[in-house]
Amino acid sequence: MREASAGFRNALANELQTISARVIGQGVSPDYDVQRALVELERVSTSQIGTIASADVVAQVRARLALYQEAVPSVLQIARLRLEK
């Protein structure tokens, strides 16, 4: 689960950096597949959450996943926006 979580956070960070570069007019980098990384994290979390003994850790994992699920659509929408001249 840690690997999938780190992969998702890296994809999200890279996508945000790409958006930032576009805003300030720097070269266009390829988009990162944040949605695919989230789907992988959801899959891994679903398969492994039952192995976590601590209820507090389970709650934290679920809360982070919920946050990521809310963040991804916003980031993707921002990525689609075009700056007006």
CB 74 within 8 A of CB 52: no
What residue numbers bound the domain in which 54 lies? 2-80
The number of helix segments (H) and strand segments (E) in the chain equals 3, 0
Q: Does any domain span residue 85?
A: no
> pTM of the entire structure?
0.81
Q: Does any domain span residue 58?
A: yes
Query: Which amino acid belongs to residue 30?
Result: P
CB 65 within 8 A of CB 41: yes
Task: Work out how many domains the chain is built from and give that number.
Answer: 1
Q: What is the pLDDT along the chain (85 residues), one digit of tens a residue?
A: 889 999 999 999 998 888 888 888 886 666 678 999 999 999 999 999 999 999 999 999 999 999 999 999 999 888 887 544 4
Q: Does any domain span residue 57?
A: yes
